[in-house]
Amino acid sequence: MASSTEKPAGWSVLLRAENAPALAALLGGVLLHSMNVLLLATVLPSIVGELGGAALMSWPTTAFLASSIVAATCTGLLTARIGARNTFCAGALVFSLGALLCGFAPSMAQIVAGRFVQGFGGGLLTAVAYVLVRTTFPEAAWPRAISLMAAMWSVSILVGPTAGGLFAKLGDWRSAFFCVVVLALGLVALAWRALPPTPRAEKIEAPPSPSARVALICLAIAAMSSAAVATAPILKAVLIAASVAILVLELRLDRQAKVPLLPRDAFATGTQTGLGLWLVLMLAIAFSPLQIYLPVFLQRLHGLDPLAAGYIMACTSFGWTVGALAMAGLTPVAVDRLLLAGPACMAAGLLAVALLTAETVGLALPLAVFLTGVGIGGCWGHVAQRVMGGARKGEESIAASSVATVQQIGFALGAALAGLAANSAGLASGLAREGVVAASFWTPVVFVVAAVLAGVAAVRLNLFVCGQREVATPLV
């Protein structure tokens, strides 16, 4: 009898009237963070048109993602010291401060600084929301609350481009950030009243902070971003090599750490988890360029208004959601095929975007953008499952959290590489049509390589998993 009433009981517990304010606060925090990624992409062409700094167009996204990584690693430390509710409210306040810096920015450099501050606040909001689910709701309601939080990323597909597009269309991109300030401050007021304070007895000893390793990740991302604006070819090469070397050093330090950020076999080529994380990284990198540059290309080459350009760009996120829902619940053999099909779809979609962007904004271009999103969305959950399923004993939780960590690192590196590709193709000199046409082709083409590498990782992962199946079920 218990099993027959488990699902209704979970929803009925979560959706009680007394839980509504707390649930609204947590969902609002995730939505505030997620919608700002798409909002910025929509207003970025207007920002560049007023402030200049076309060569730095990838930096606001890179700074936001790098800072989110830092915040995620600091969440355990902050919640242990000041409590989960206080950390959530602090995240919203920091987020509003970053939005304020962007709203008053006199230059692209301050936009980058404001986005870095926003990223830290947003990273705290999303990470501590999962902690607050545990302390706010009964256990029967946890899966439903987490599902609703994940759904906020789909809601942001509508909210982000709409909000950014309307303000950009009115010629007042600064007010978009000022509205974010108001929303963030309202979230602070709601969270302070609705979320339970952390009882002293529930506070645990703070885990050691991985500040040195996180600093190395951010330094590598900064080096890659600096390569995008470096003019001398030798300096570009040096910065790219330095970025790779720093990431290798961080990985070695992490494997020796008492509390690692990633599984100790992360990016190994002979384990299921290691190969799975390679696939996660390459998929995330391949997904990055359209989110940053496609609205700029469409507005400059075809005269689309910010709202229309934003929604074409949002087809990537919509495709991710559709792919994830459509491909759930497959058999292991079907998953093997899907892990190969996903990167192939991304490669085809990116190549089609490269060929179509300068030529047309008809139905074919949104479909190509959508196909790129379907490619990553369809296989993402299954890749995560294989990363977690191959975890070594005692590292199950670290393997689970590593998917999100590597995803953020991949997005940040992808943003930096997109800046390098776009600037090298001709965007560094401004938004003249000739440079934009070249960048609209070469930026997505370069990331076809990342999709192909994801396919190689998928082949290796499938071979490893098939070998494990044969060992587990020997022929009689």
Q: What is the DSSP letter of 137?
A: S
pLDDT by residue (tens digit) across 292-312?
Answer: 889 889 988 998 887 788 888
Residue 247 in this model has a pLDDT that exceeds 90: no
Dihedral sign, Cα of residue 134, residue 139, residue 142, residue 143? positive
User: Does residue 251 carry a pLDDT above 50?
Assistant: yes
**Residue 354 contacts residue 425 (beta carbons within 8 Å):** no
Among 51-65, 84-98, 191-205, 229-243, which is the least confidently predicted range?
A: 191-205
Fill in the DSSP letter of residue 53: -
The region of weakest confidence among 161-175, 218-232, 346-360, 370-384 is: 218-232
Q: What is the mean pLDDT of residues 61-87?
A: 79
DSSP state of 283: H
Count Cβ atoms below 10 Å from residue 213 Cβ, excluding itself: 18
Phi-psi region of 13 (alpha: psi -120 to 50; beta: other; left: phi over 0): alpha
Any residues with CB less than 8 A from the CB of 128 and at least 6 apart, and which? 75, 78, 79, 84, 87, 88, 91
Q: 């390098």: which residue's tokens? A: 420
Burial (CB count within 10 angstroms: exposed 0-12, middle 13-18, buried 19+), residue 252:
exposed
Rounded CA-CA distance 192/157 in Å is: 28
Portion of the chain with pLDDT greater than 70, in percent: 89
Report yes or no on whether pTM surpasses 0.75.
yes
Confidence at residue 235, expressed as pLDDT on a 0 to 100 scale: 84
Which run of H or of E encompasses 399? Answer: helix 396-425
Task: Tell me the residue ranges of DSSP E strands in 71-216.
Answer: none
Range with lowest mean pLDDT among 70-79, 403-412, 444-453: 70-79
| Residues belonging to the chain | 476
Asked whether 376 and 346 are in contact (CB, 8 A), the reply is: yes
Residues 6+ positions from 87 with CB-CB distance below 8 Å: 75, 78, 79, 124, 128
Neighbour-count burial for 330-362, b at 16+ CB within 10 Å, e otherwise: beeeebbebbbbbbebbbbbbbbbbbbbbeebe
User: Are 291 and 157 a contacting pair, CB within 8 Å?
Assistant: no
Do 151 and 32 contact (CB within 8 A), yes or no? no
Taking 60 as the threshold, does the pLDDT of residue 353 lie above it?
yes
Half-sphere exposure of 106 (CA within 13 A, CB side): 0
> Residue 19: pLDDT above 70?
yes
Residue 365 has pLDDT above 90, yes or no: yes
When the pLDDT of each residue in the chain is averaged and rounded to a whole number, the result is: 83
- Per the CB < 8 A criterion, the answer to whether 141 and 14 are in contact is yes
Q: What is the full DSSP assignment across 246-262?
A: HHHHHHHHHHHSSS-SS
Spatial separation of the C-alpha atoms in residues 415 and 56, rounded to whole Å:
11
Look up residue 215 and give its amino acid.
A
